[in-house]
């Protein structure tokens, strides 16, 4: 038995979907442990190209059960869309499960998010999918959970109790108030469509543990977007770090066997906030791509062009410390193929002092990255099947990362497909 967690070590968009898809080949249960449909995990396999927002990437393997975990917030309409798209693609949903303890993301959560983002003074560049308001509702204890849907009388009474508070917020932001009875009717529709997927998550996870099965936990975004440890306030509203997999799964964190940090060979970010190694647009265009290829740097959920920067090992080291990484999966190494020189940030300068640790979020705006310039390989790496096939300069790049993080690069991604991985 193994319990493996896949987390992002940067700002998100590191290629976690590809790695989870790869690991799911040997997994018996795949659990999405946090976030919502703001995620965009792109998976390219023999079935086609899919962009998953809520459903775990293990769904493509008939032998792998898939749980949308307790720590997620789930928009039922978006989930139903995703289910239908997968069915059209010939993918079985027989082993898809939803935690009864997961919070329901309601239409008013989406409204509050979108209306808030209209205000440039308080907007932070969210996906406007309602994720933050849904987690806020969870903390305020105004949310419904999937376990509630079985009792529409309770749902109706609950909505009539909490909606005055929620409607006051919606109307203050310029939106229209919601009707409790209409929302309760909508909840009844959701239940009829989704009730076959709703399960007790603790029972499910513990059953797989007792049977000695392999369990895979899939995170969304990266450490720099963690609510507590990230670049606050430019963060998500959950915890995309390894320890939260145990919280969402309902077991002890000491039982985690393998914590794989997915890292991109350069950096990217979406939305506002500090980004120390950011390139100019002219420099970034080479790594960003045109948007015509599935692995170009444009958001799978939003389509927004990502901000691009050099690899920042201060960030990766920070992720290694917080997550307790046992291995790195380095993606998109092939994107560096045409570069004669590659910069890697190894420290920051702040007010004349050298920092090898993560400063506070405000100081991140002021730091100057200290770079080590490495020789590029200036030749294609696509088609390389093992480490020995890589140019020497590429091998030097990998070793430099290992030497400066203390974490082994166990997997090297050279393209978007699950087959494009060097072990």
The string of pLDDT tens digits covering residues 248-272 is 999 999 999 999 999 999 999 988 8
Average pLDDT over residues 296-300: 73
Q: Residue 282's pLDDT band (boundaries 50, 70, 90)?
A: confident
pLDDT tens string 21-47: 899 999 999 999 999 988 777 777 767
Binned at pLDDT 50, 70 and 90, residue 52 comes out as confident
What is the model's pTM? 0.91
Packing angle between helix 131-140 and helix 107-117, nearest 10 degrees?
A: 120
Exposed / middle / buried, residue 124 (Cβ in 10 Å: 0-12, 13-18, 19+): middle
**What is the reported pLDDT for 291?**
65
pLDDT for the residue 123? 63
Helix count and strand count (H, E) for the chain: 12, 20
- Domain range 103-196, its CATH number among 3.40.50.1980, 1.20.120.1200, 1.10.300.10, 1.10.3720.10: 1.10.300.10
Residue 300 has pLDDT above 70, yes or no: no
* Pairwise pLDDT comparison (357 vs 122), residue with the higher score: 357
* Candidate from 88-97, 114-123, 301-310, 332-341 with smallest mean pLDDT: 114-123
- Provide the pLDDT for residue 298: 79
Return the pLDDT at 377.
93
For 395-420, b/e burial (b = at least 16 CB within 10 A) is eebbebbeebbebebebbbbbbbbeb
List 13, 28, 113, 226, catalytic entry: 13
When pLDDT is averaged across residues 108-129 and rounded to a whole number, the result is 80
Q: Which of 41, 53, 109, 239 is catalytic?
A: 41
| CA 54 to each of CA 81, 261, 363: distance values in angstroms, whole numbers, following the listed order | 10, 20, 34
Most confident of 63-72, 121-130, 291-300: 63-72
Tell the residue number behind the tokens 């958001």, with chain if given: 299
More confident residue, 285 or 312: 312
User: Encoding tokens for residue 66?
Assistant: 């898939």
Please determine, for residue 121, whether its predicted confidence score (pLDDT) is greater than 90: no
The residue among 124, 122, 116, 134 whose CA lies nearest residue 36 is 134
Query: Which of 64, 12, 398, 7 minimizes the C-alpha distance to 221?
Result: 12
Please tell me the predicted confidence (pLDDT) of residue 324. Answer: 96
Measured distance CA(242)–CA(255) in Å, rounded: 11
Parts of the chain belonging to CATH 3.90.170.10:
3-76+205-422
The DSSP annotation for 112-124 comes to HHHHHHT-TTT--
Residue with tokens 């917020």: 169
Q: Could you tell me which residues come within 8 angstroms of residue 165 by beta carbon, excluding any fewer than 6 positions away?
A: 142
Cα 70 to the chain's mean position, in Å? 15
| pLDDT band, very low/low/confident/very high, at 178 (cuts 50, 70, 90) | very high
Give residue 285's pLDDT band: very low, low, confident or very high (50, 70, 90).
confident
Q: At what angle do helices 392-405 and 313-323 cross, to 10 degrees?
A: 50
Report the pLDDT value the prediction gives residue 120, as an integer from 0 to 100: 55
What is the average pLDDT score of the chain? 92
pLDDT digits (tens, 9 = 90+) for 199-213: 999 999 999 999 999
Would you say residue 393 has pLDDT above 90?
Answer: yes
From the candidate CATH numbers 3.60.20.40, 3.30.9.80, 3.40.640.10, 3.90.170.10, the one assigned to the domain spanning 3-76+205-422:
3.90.170.10
Tokens at 404, concatenated = 């400066």
Specify the DSSP element, H or E, that contains 308: strand 307-309
| Predicted local confidence at residue 119, as pLDDT | 66
Measured between its terminal Cα atoms, the distance across the chain in Å is 21
* Exposure on the CB side of residue 190, measured as CA atoms within 13 A: 30
Q: Tell me the Cα Rg of the chain.
A: 22
Question: Has 258 been annotated as catalytic?
Answer: no
Tokens of 224: 């720099």
Residues near 52 by Cβ (< 8 Å), separated by ≥ 6?
17, 39, 40, 41, 42, 43, 59, 82
| Helix, strand, coil percentages for the chain (3-state, nearest 5) | 40, 25, 40
Q: Per residue in 1-10, pLDDT tens? A: 799 999 999 9
Each residue's pLDDT tens digit, 327-355: 999 999 999 998 999 999 999 999 999 99
With CA atoms as reference, report the closest residue to 37 among 93, 4, 81, 6: 81
DSSP 367-383: -EEEEEEEE---S--TT
Pairwise CA distance, residues 81 & 331, whole Å: 29
Residues of the chain with CATH 1.10.300.10: 103-196
Q: Let me know if 109 is a catalytic residue.
A: no
pLDDT of residue 302: 67
Tokens 């405000």, located at residue: 362
| Residue linked to tokens 């996906």 | 127
Split at pLDDT 50, 70, 90, the class of 135 is very high
For residue 290, what pLDDT is reported?
67
Q: Tell me the sheet residues that pair with 45.
A: 48
């Amino acid at each position: 038995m193994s319990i493996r967690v896949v987390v992002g070590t940067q700002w998100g968009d590191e290629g976690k979907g590809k790695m989870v898809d790869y690991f799911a080949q040997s997994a018996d249960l795949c659990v999405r442990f946090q976030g919502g449909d703001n995620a965009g995990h792109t998976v390219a396999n023999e079935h086609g190209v899919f962009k998953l927002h809520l459903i775990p990437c293990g769904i493509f393997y008939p032998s792998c059960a898939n749980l949308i975990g307790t720590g997620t917030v789930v928009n039922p309409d978006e989930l139903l869309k995703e289910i239908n798209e997968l069915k059209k693609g010939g993918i079985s949903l027989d082993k898809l499960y939803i935690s009864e303890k997961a919070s329901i993301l309601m239409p008013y959560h989406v409204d509050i998010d979108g209306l808030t983002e209209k205000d440039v003074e308080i907007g932070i560049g969210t996906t406007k999918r309602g994720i933050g308001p849904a987690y806020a509702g969870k903390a305020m204890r105004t949310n419904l959970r999937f376990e509630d849907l079985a009792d529409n009388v309770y749902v109706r009474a609950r909505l009539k109790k909490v909606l005055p508070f929620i409607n006051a917020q919606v109307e203050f932001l310029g939106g229209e108030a919601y009707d409790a009875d209409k929302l309760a009717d909508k909840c009844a529709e959701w239940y009829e469509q989704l009730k076959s997927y709703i399960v007790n998550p603790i029972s499910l996870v513990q059953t797989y543990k007792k049977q000695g099965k392999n369990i895979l936990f899939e995170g969304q975004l990266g450490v720099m977007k963690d609510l507590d440890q990230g670049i606050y306030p430019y963060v998500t509203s959950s915890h995309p770090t390894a320890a939260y997999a145990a919280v969402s799964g309902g077991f002890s964190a000491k039982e985690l066997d393998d914590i794989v940090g997915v890292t991109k060979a350069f950096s990217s970010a979406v939305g506002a906030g500090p980004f120390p190694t950011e390139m100019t647009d002219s420099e970034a265009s080479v790594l960003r791509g045109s948007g015509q290829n599935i692995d170009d740097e444009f958001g799978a959920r939003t389509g927004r062009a990502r901000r691009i920067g050099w690899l920042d090992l201060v960030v990766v080291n920070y992720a290694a410390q917080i997550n307790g990484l046992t291995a790195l999966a380095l993606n998109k190494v092939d994107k560096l193929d045409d570069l004669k020189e590659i910069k890697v940030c190894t420290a920051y300068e702040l007010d004349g002092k050298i920092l090898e640790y993560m400063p506070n979020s405000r100081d991140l705006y002021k730091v100057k990255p200290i770079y080590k310039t490495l020789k590029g390989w200036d030749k294609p790496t696509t088609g390389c099947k093992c480490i020995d096939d890589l140019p020497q300069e590429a091998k030097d790049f990998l070793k430099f990362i290992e030497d400066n993080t203390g974490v082994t690069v166990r997997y090297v991604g050279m393209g978007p497909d699950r087959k494009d991985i060097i072990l």
